[in-house]
Homo-oligomer: A and B are copies of this chain.
């Protein structure tokens, strides 16, 4: 069986669609029982992906909050606590919405404009819980997981206090 929550903090750029593909493979693996018929394996695997999947990808903007060209975003975190918080937030969200599985991938360190900074994916039996859980988890990690953004522009770094409005 796979864990329902997968949390990844990455110091290097990642490709969200590849991360989703790896997560889907993991979800399918959890379904393969010992009695799986060889010839029917691919169909059994397919049928095991939950009926509803909601994703969100966040990318770094090309400008700072004040509109200046952004050179890079620097993302500080609290090693240990950040991972722990993300797991807790995801597990709480899964239980509240009765959802099958969740994936959170989050960048740390130096991130360039256009690079993906966050990916949240939720797999569920129905579209409502999948979408609601995905939204709630994204808001939760933006406000409850210890991450701090610093915008670098013109060689000067400025800490971002708080998030943009939903």
Complex-state Cα separation, A15 to B114, whole angstroms = 25
**A1 interface residue, CB < 8 Å from B?**
no
Contact of A58 among B21, B52, B166 (CB under 8 A): B52
A17-B20, A17-B21, A54-B54 known; A49 vs B114 contact (CB < 8 Å): yes
Instruction: Report the nearest B residue to A47, measured CB to CB.
Output: B114
Interface residues of A (CB under 8 A from B): 17, 20-21, 24, 43, 45-62, 112-115, 126-128, 130-131, 134-135, 138, 164-166
Could you list 6 examples of A-B contacts with CB < 8 Å? A51-B58, A53-B55, A53-B57, A126-B164, A127-B164, A127-B166
A46-B115, A128-B166 known; A61 vs B56 contact (CB < 8 Å): no
